[in-house]
Every structure is written in structure tokens, then in C-alpha cells.
Amino acid sequence: MDASDLLRSSLLHLSDSSLVRTTIEKAPVSRAVVQRYVPGTDVAHAVSAAAELRATNRQVTIDYLGEDTLDAGQAAHTVDTYVGLLRALKAKDLSQFGAAEVSVKLSAVGQALPQDGEKIALDNARIICEAARDADTTVTLDMEDHTTTDSTLSILAELRKDFPDTGAVLQSYLHRTEGDCRDLATAGSRVRLCKGAYKEPASVAYQDAEDVDLSYVRCLKVLMAGDGYPMVASHDPRLIDIARALASRHGREPDSYEFQMLYGIRPDEQTRIADRGHQMRVYVPFGEEWYGYLMRRMAERPANLQFFLRSLVSKG
């Protein structure tokens, strides 16, 4: 394990530590730092970030932060927030034709509840899908750690019976993903391909960054050759170039796939890609529960960590 692997795994560990979490949340960590990656805590912040992104021709997917809920009341609150968000997007003319959609973590809407978690998550996700349909837009189910993959894909299959445009997410670090890509590369199937953000064991996931990248390319080949709608979620310039080349090799029109990046990461490249006539969608997280999300971003890029630590010791 080299130094950056060690740092990455320590940060992913910290994302689970409630002591560190409380310390950081109470520290005078400037809103400015958090705001670079998370535009705010409530619906109004998310909607105004969406409006700004739309003004520069970028599409949007919005995530209400929070995961691993073990409280049915909290899950219901998350559902209400998504419904309110979708109404607000519609009222501002931001959601039509899927221009601004939502990303949902099933563990935030009840999947992890000990009693009937899967059923509760499905029912809750259905409510969000209905609100999305009313707003002329879609829902994508984020993918979480590997213990939830089968459950998430089975809930996806159920939802797609009524809401066929519900998006899936697959993670190239998992050994199983090339096969999942084959299963999901069907007509109309929206599939976001990402590398994967959780700490996973070698029994299920590639540990070496190069192997994760090679798997990403194999998965991209399957998705681009298939009949579905690939959503290429990465900031990696090499993978973006490969995706573009594969799309052109398969004669794909620019509206038959899209690129996706995270809010605050490579914003100039986001606009460049959009200006070149590609579809570019930005993932916008919002809410009070920014800690776990931010730690995963720090783990991905030590340069972000330096910036963050400096702000922890400065005021405001």
C-alpha cells in the first residue's frame, strides 16, 4: 500500500467515525469550503444551483444528502424533501425534459431499516418517481456499498415496471459490474457508470486503480455498444476521451448518452464539454448531512484535503 492508498483508506475510515464527524461538524469549518462541493442545506439552495448550471447549458441531478437511515420518520422526511424539491424545480421550469432530475440513495429512504426495509424503500422510491413524472423528469438510484447492490438492482427492476426511465448506477471497481452492464444495456435503460466511492474488500472489488480503470473501459464498451443510454460519470480525462471515441465508433448521436461530473469538481471542463455540444450533467448534493459525502471526495483527491484542513484551522 503506498502513501496515497493509506490516506485514502484512512479518510474512508474517518467517514464512518462519529467522533471525528462531530468534531469536524462543530469546528469553525467555513461554509465556503463545504459550499465548494455542497451548495447549501435546503431546497432553495439546490434550486438556485440548478438554475445557475442550466444557465451554462449543463443538466443537473440533485441528491438530498443522508444515507443509512435507521429511522422510518427520517426516511419519510427525505421523501417529502424530494417531493418538495421536484415541485420547486417544476415551478421554476428547470425540470422539463429531464433537464434537472434527482439522484436517490435507497438507504436514505428506508432500505437499511431492520423490518421490511426493502419494501419501505421501494414504496418511498415510488413516491419520488411519481413526483418526478409530474415534473417531467426522472430519478436515478445511486449505488452504495456492495452489500446493497443486489437489493438496489431488484428495487430498480420493480420501479422500472412503472417508471422505465429510472436510472441505474454501476461501479467499475466491482468484479461483477461488466455482467451487470450486459444485463442493463437494453433499450431505454439509463445507466450511470462510475468507478465507485466506498471502501470494498478484495473479495468483491479491484483494489488497484489501474484495474478499476480497465474495468471501466470494458464496461463502457458494453454500454456504448448496447441499446441503452450510458451516463459516463467520471472526471478522468482519459476515460472521457475513450467514452467519446466509443460513442463515435458506435455511431451514437450526442443525445444518446451523456457525461456527468460532481458539483465543484472540474467546473471549467464541465462547461467546455457542454460547449462542444455534448450533454453534461452535474450531480448537486445538498442538505445538512454533508459530512460523509465530503470525506469521500477528500479520499479521492489529497489536494482537496489540504484545502479543507487549512480551512478547519482558520475562522469563518
37 vs 163, beta carbon nearer ligand FAD: 37
72 vs 271, beta carbon nearer ligand FAD: 271
Q: Is 166 in contact with 160 (CB distance < 8 Å)?
A: yes
CA distance to 127, 214, 241, per residue, from 221 (Å): 34, 11, 13
Quick one: how many helices (H) and strands (E) in the chain? 13, 8
Give yes or no for residue 143 binding ligand FAD (CB under 6 A): yes
Among 178, 179, 149, 316, smallest CA distance to 168 is for: 149
Q: Is 103 in contact with 62 (CB distance < 8 Å)?
A: yes
CB of 115 to ligand FAD, least distance (A): 26
Candidates 15-23, 129-137, 220-228, 232-240 — which segment interacts with ligand FAD by CB under 6 A? 232-240
Strands lying side by side in the sheet with 280-286: 139-141, 100-104, 59-64, 280-286, 258-262, 229-233, 190-194, 168-171
Reported as type and span, the H/E element at residue 276 is none
Candidates 236, 252, 256, 271; binder of ligand FAD (CB under 6 A) is 236
Told to judge if 272 belongs to the known catalytic residues of this protein, a careful annotator would answer no
Give yes or no for residue 237 binding ligand FAD (CB under 6 A): yes
CB of 141 to ligand FAD, least distance (A): 8
Query: Which residue out of 36, 126, 192, 244 is catalytically annotated?
Result: 192
Q: Is 224 in contact with 246 (CB distance < 8 Å)?
A: yes
Set of cell numbers at residue 129: 418517481
Give yes or no for residue 195 binding ligand FAD (CB under 6 A): yes
Site for ligand FAD in 253-282 (CB under 6 A): 260-262, 265-266
210 vs 315, beta carbon nearer ligand FAD: 210
101 vs 118, beta carbon nearer ligand FAD: 101
Residue the block writes with cell 454500454: 223
CB of 18 to ligand FAD, least distance (A): 21
CB of 124 to ligand FAD, least distance (A): 17
Any residues with CB less than 8 A from the CB of 154 and at least 6 apart, and which?
118
Give yes or no for residue 67 binding ligand FAD (CB under 6 A): no
Candidates 137, 171, 189, 311; binder of ligand FAD (CB under 6 A) is 171
In single-letter form, the type of residue at position 309 comes to: L
Told to judge if 227 belongs to the known catalytic residues of this protein, a careful annotator would answer no
Candidates 65, 194, 246, 247; binder of ligand FAD (CB under 6 A) is 194
Helical H segments across 164-266, by residue range? 177-184, 209-225, 237-249
Q: 248-265 b/e with 16+ CB inside 10 Å = b? A: eeeebeeeebbbbbbbbb
Positions in the binding site for ligand FAD (CB under 6 A) = 142-143, 169, 171, 192, 194-198, 233-237, 260-262, 265-266, 283, 300-301
Catalytic residues: 142, 192
